[in-house]
Amino acid sequence: MWHNREARPAVAIVGSVAALLVATVSLAGAGDGVDSTTVHLREYRFDPPEIHVVVGRDSELIVVNDGTVPHEFVTDALQDLTVDVEIGGVTAETLGVAELEIPPKARVVVRFTPERAGEFRFACHAMRPTDHYRQGMIGRLVIRER
Ligand SMILES: [Cu+2]
């Protein structure tokens, strides 16, 4: 129920299941015991293109759009997990995150604890000004056993 453009959220989140959320002010950063990885989004690549996390470890992905157009972070890796998504200092807890749309210069922090090993792709499917995926905007998230 957004009545004007200014009230729209800066970042859209699409959860795999109806996302519920309690907004809390986040004071937490990457503290001890958190595996933190920063991923930069630019035209048209992810840097780094491969992310490694470990089953059972508290993990944090800091996704930063360093480009000049909106980019997406789309993955199946975070389905079925409880995920904290921090945007602009506010954290929402959601069950699963499938897609983040991130405006230029914006930053989203995603926190989760992987439960199963596997390899997943992540990609950007934005289409403006061109097809980002076809330009090679794809990466790999590797979840390994301890
Ligand atoms: Cu993109």
> For residue 10, is pLDDT > 70?
no
| pTM listed for this prediction | 0.80
Which domains are present in the chain? 5-27+34-144 (2.60.40.420)
Rounded average pLDDT over 59-66? 98
| Residue 11: predicted pLDDT | 67
How far is ligand 1, taken at its centre, from the CA of residue 62, in Å? 16
Note residues around ion ligand 1 (Cβ under 5 angstroms): 71, 124, 126, 132, 137
CA dihedral 119, 74, 38, 25 (to 10 degrees): -120
Q: Binning pLDDT at 50, 70 and 90, where does residue 20 land?
A: very low
Ligand 1 midpoint to CA 146 (Å): 32
The mean pLDDT value for 84-111 works out to 96
Q: How far apart are CA 137 and CA 75, in angstroms?
A: 12
Where does the pLDDT of residue 35 fall: very low under 50, low under 70, confident under 90, or very high at 90 and above? Answer: very high
Measured in Å, residue 41 CA sits from the centre of ligand 1 at 7
pLDDT score for 107: 97
- Tell me, in angstroms, the distance from the centre of ligand 1 to residue 126's CA: 5
